[in-house]
Structure 1
Amino acid sequence: MYANTEKYGLILVPIFGLYYKSANKKFEANLNLPIIGDINYKTGKKTWVGMRFDGLGTTYTLKNQSYSANGAYVSKTSNELVSYLRFRLSKSIYLNTKVGYAVSRNYKVFDADDKIDLALSSFYFGDKRTQLNERFKDGAIFKMELFYRLHFD
């Protein structure tokens, strides 16, 4: 269970997890739904092909903005589905090249005093907030990530 107090109020997200690695160690699935899902297949000694879903949102305080006299916050939600190629550059350093699409991409601005009663995953109860900006459009995603993986022997 994920629980957090965002700028709009309390959010609770039940998480269903599954991790699987095939006997030959070429296929791997790491699912923590509805937040993150990653499946990949090792195609060579240092390369993988995979798909990843990211669906976690968050909120940020906006300072020095003209949206409201009380201040404002932005609520970010974006469900991103990407395919990727992963390359191992050294024992611990990897490069991911991703291409995909963002669905339900929202960066909504609200008055700082605009709250909800409760968010349960992507369902908002008591949501009478007024959005202060225009909606973002869904669209393509292109990313490159360099990451470091820890090894515990």
Structure 2
Amino acid sequence: MTGVAFSQTTLDVVRLNLARTSMQDVDGDFEETDISNVNLEILYPTPLSSKTTLVTGLTVENTQIDNLFSLQGANFPNIFNSLEDDRLLMTRLNLGVKMKHSRKWTGNYVLLPKFASNFDGDLDNAFQFGAIAFMEMKKNSRRVYRFGMYSSTEEFGQIITPLVGVYYRTKNRKFTLDALLPIKMEANYYFSKKFALGADLRTSVKSYFLNGYSQDLYAQEESIRFGLYASYGLFKNQVLARIKAGFDTTDYGVYNTGDKVGAQVLTFQVSGDDRNRLNAEFDSSFFVGLDLIYRVGL
């Protein structure tokens, strides 16, 4: 699950996130797996009136994994053609609108159609559709509360995620908290107009259809990445460069396409999970990353 979220006063028009980590399976039976992730999001705001802003854009995420298909022992020796590098690629349209309903209430509504696959064949089974909607209640110019819902069709079933968050900025503008949990959280403190230290949290629950193997499979990603960063502003602080390091709990489970869990709320399966996992569970690890952000005011 990734989210398109508007902050109180700004919009990240271009956001490039680079991250790299090495993980082992939880039992330590296989060699370390190198994982690199590139996420590019482009959003374009178009004011339609004093109360309505149209926001359209594109998100592309590429995850390169050198050993996604580590087997649990030799229980499934004929499923995978090889243990070569593989990629998980997601391309998504972001079609949203921000509407001011009253002095206190603003709505954010975004449609998220996407293709998620290893793109090694046809994409008939790779299409998924999601949407996010949340309301913002403006307490004052420095504090906003958020409530909403995210949902998406995935290879494992339907994911439903309640959302709650807050935007808060101190009077001196040095400290800012911008959160829409569980999708994202970001907090930073500016020591000068250009330099800040901060922390962020990004979560993702999504799936990828896998082509090119002896039977149809999918990978389910469940990710929590918590990072600390140093940020420096360029070009009048419209461009932010962040060096980041943190903790990554991402797991990539591989399943047969027919194995479903039905509805899933956050990471909890409503009807339980009796699927037969085909690869080893990934262990958590540290990661390093770089973020480049182009930000404009709303």
Superposition TM-score, scaled by structure 2 size: 0.48
State the AA in 1 paired with 2:190: K
- Higher Cα radius of gyration: 2
User: Which of 44, 60, 82 is equivalent to 2:192?
Assistant: 44
1:95-110 correspondence runs (5 A): 95-103=241-249, 105-110=250-255
The aligned counterpart of 1:147 is 293
For residues 4-153 of structure 1, what are the structure 2 equivalents within 5 Å? 4-66=152-214, 69=215, 71-91=216-236, 92-103=238-249, 105-126=250-271, 127-152=273-298
Return the offset for 1:44: 1.2
The match for 2:64 is none
- Cα shift at 1:145: 1.3
Looking at structure 2, the residues matched to 117 and 73 of structure 1 have their Cα atoms a distance apart, in angstroms, of 15
Q: Which runs of 4+ in 1 moved over 3 A?
A: none
Amino acid at match of 2:229: Y
Of all paired residues, the percent bearing the same amino acid is 30
The alpha-carbon deviation at position 90 of structure 1 amounts to 1.4
User: 1:57, 1:43 → 2: CA distance?
Assistant: 35
Structure 2: distance between partners of 1:38 and 1:102:
16
Q: Which runs of 5+ in 1 are unaligned?
A: none
Q: What is the distance in 1 between the residues matched to 2:267 and 2:156?
A: 13
Tell me the distance in 2 between the aligned counterparts of 1:151 and 1:72: 43
Q: Distance in 2 between matches of 1:122 and 1:151?
A: 34
TM-score, L = length of structure 1: 0.91
Kindly provide the CA deviation profile for residues 49-108 of structure 1, in whole angstroms up to 9, marking residues without a partner as x: 111111222111111134xx2x111111111111111111213211111100113x2100
State how far apart, in whole Å, the 2-side matches of 1:65 and 1:97 are: 38
CA RMSD of aligned residues (A): 1.2
Q: Any gaps of 5 or more consecutive residues in structure 2?
A: 1-148
8 Å Cα contact 1:108-1:135 kept in structure 2: yes
Contact 1:36 1:56 in 2 (8 A): no
Q: 38-47 or 88-97: which moved more?
A: 88-97
Q: Does the aligned pair in 2 maintain the 1:78–1:102 contact within 8 Å?
A: yes
